[in-house]
């Protein structure tokens, strides 16, 4: 989606550009980032096998936020800029827009509620992901990993193939660690981490670089060459898409 496609989108992206917008609105992508860092540095976490190369992407087109959703975001930004960090009005306003079916509003509301009301958050995120919201698919995959690993794998795979940076980092970690479900594949791990760094937002570059630095010393010369081949194929089959509010390149 081009920034000029709808009113206020340009201003929203300007705001995103100079602040950690998703964190500031209360979206719990920080949860995902903490999980990534914990995995990189050896904390216990179980993931199931997923074959992501050439796998499914989200079937619905990328949702465009409704004018009502954009108004909610605009008003919350105004409150944040005035020093008001209370999420109560934001959640209340989002509920009204989400109830009308807006997948982007469901993405924000589900992300805000994933820590305090996971059952409701999962419902919202699933509906949003089914509506094409890539960020929702990624958060949903992480949230369901310990309870519904098959569904989690499906959403995480679709999110990674649809451009979601965090989901790509999770896949890289999956291939790096390996377990009883998943063969270890260092070349795949490095290729996905490099793709996340190449196409991801600047504020995720550090996490991607940390992961790459963990993987690279472990590869043999042959595996390094293989990683380069896989990375080239991923670049060709996964072109970078424009940033938009459902978390694809802006977490």
Measured distance CA(1)–CA(90) in Å, rounded: 24
| pLDDT computed for residue 216 by the predictor | 96
- Percent of the chain residues past pLDDT 70, beyond the cut: 72
Q: What is the mean pLDDT of residues 37-53?
A: 32
| Coil, helix or strand at residue 139 | helix
DSSP 8-state symbol, 172? H
- Percent of the chain residues past pLDDT 90, beyond the cut: 31
CATH number belonging to domain 3-237: 1.25.40.10
Measured distance CA(148)–CA(46) in Å, rounded: 12
Segment among 28-42, 91-105, 166-180, 199-213 with least mean pLDDT: 28-42
Cα atoms in the 13 Å half-sphere on the side-chain side of 161: 18
> Residue 43 pLDDT > 50, yes or no?
no
> Residue 220 pLDDT > 90, yes or no?
yes
> Residue 44 pLDDT > 90, yes or no?
no
| pLDDT computed for residue 155 by the predictor | 86
| pLDDT computed for residue 64 by the predictor | 82
> Residue 123 pLDDT > 90, yes or no?
yes
| pLDDT computed for residue 78 by the predictor | 86
pLDDT digits (tens, 9 = 90+) for 15-26: 333 234 444 444
pLDDT digits (tens, 9 = 90+) for 80-99: 888 888 889 999 999 999 99
| pLDDT computed for residue 166 by the predictor | 84
> Residue 13 pLDDT > 70, yes or no?
no
| pLDDT computed for residue 18 by the predictor | 28
CB atoms near residue 200 (< 10 Å) = 23
Which is higher by pLDDT, 163 or 16? 163
Domain spans, the chain = 3-237
Which residue do the tokens 């920080």 mark? 30
């Amino acid at each position: 989606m081009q920034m000029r496609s709808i009113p206020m989108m340009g201003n929203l992206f300007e705001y995103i550009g100079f602040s950690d917008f998703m964190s500031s609105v209360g979206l719990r992508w920080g949860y995902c980032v903490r999980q990534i860092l914990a995995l990189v540095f050896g904390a216990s976490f179980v993931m199931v096998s997923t074959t992501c190369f050439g796998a499914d992407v989200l079937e619905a087109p990328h949702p465009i936020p409704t004018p009502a959703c954009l108004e909610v975001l605009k008003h919350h930004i105004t409150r944040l800029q005035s020093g008001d960090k209370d999420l109560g009005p934001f959640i209340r306003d989002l509920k009204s827009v989400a109830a009308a079916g807006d997948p982007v509003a469901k993405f924000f509301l589900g992300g805000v509620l994933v820590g305090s009301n996971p059952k409701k958050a999962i419902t919202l995120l699933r509906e949003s992901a089914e509506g094409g919201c890539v960020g929702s698919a990624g958060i949903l995959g992480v949230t369901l990993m310990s309870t519904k690993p098959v569904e989690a794998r499906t959403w995480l795979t679709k999110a990674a193939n649809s451009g979601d940076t965090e989901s790509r980092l999770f896949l890289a970690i999956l291939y790096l660690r390996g377990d009883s479900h998943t063969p270890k594949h260092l070349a795949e791990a490095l290729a996905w981490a490099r793709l996340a760094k190449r196409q991801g937002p600047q504020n995720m570059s550090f996490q991607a670089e940390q992961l790459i630095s963990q993987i690279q010393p472990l590869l043999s010369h042959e595996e390094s060459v293989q990683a380069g081949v896989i990375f080239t194929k991923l670049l060709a089959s996964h072109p970078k898409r424009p940033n938009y509010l459902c978390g694809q390149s802006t977490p």
